[in-house]
Amino acid sequence: MSCSKRWVRVVPTGPVLVEGPVHIELSDGTSVDSDRFMVAICSCGRSKTYPLCDTSHRARVRKTS
């Protein structure tokens, strides 16, 4: 493991952005790898691709007629 600091940004009401590549270990023992430059990790629990953010955290606006 590298000793250099990783860049992490917490987005209010959104994901946690982590400088990649990353290896994410989940509580159920499974893991996910991402080689992206920047990885968005879901912090809201609504992502269909959890632990990665799929933008499901964004508020849905209902149109009223």
Interacting residue ranges for ligand FES, rule: CB under 6 A: 14-15, 42-44, 46-47, 53-57
Nearer to ligand FES, 31 or 55 (CB): 55
Between 27 and 64, name the residue whose CB sits nearer to ligand FES.
27
Residue found under tokens 């493991």 = 1
The distance of closest approach from Cβ of residue 5 to ligand FES in the complex, given in angstroms and rounded to an integer, is 23
| Minimum distance from residue 40 beta carbon to ligand FES (Å) | 7
List of residues 6+ apart from 41 with CB closer than 8 A = 15, 16, 17, 18, 22, 24, 51, 52, 53
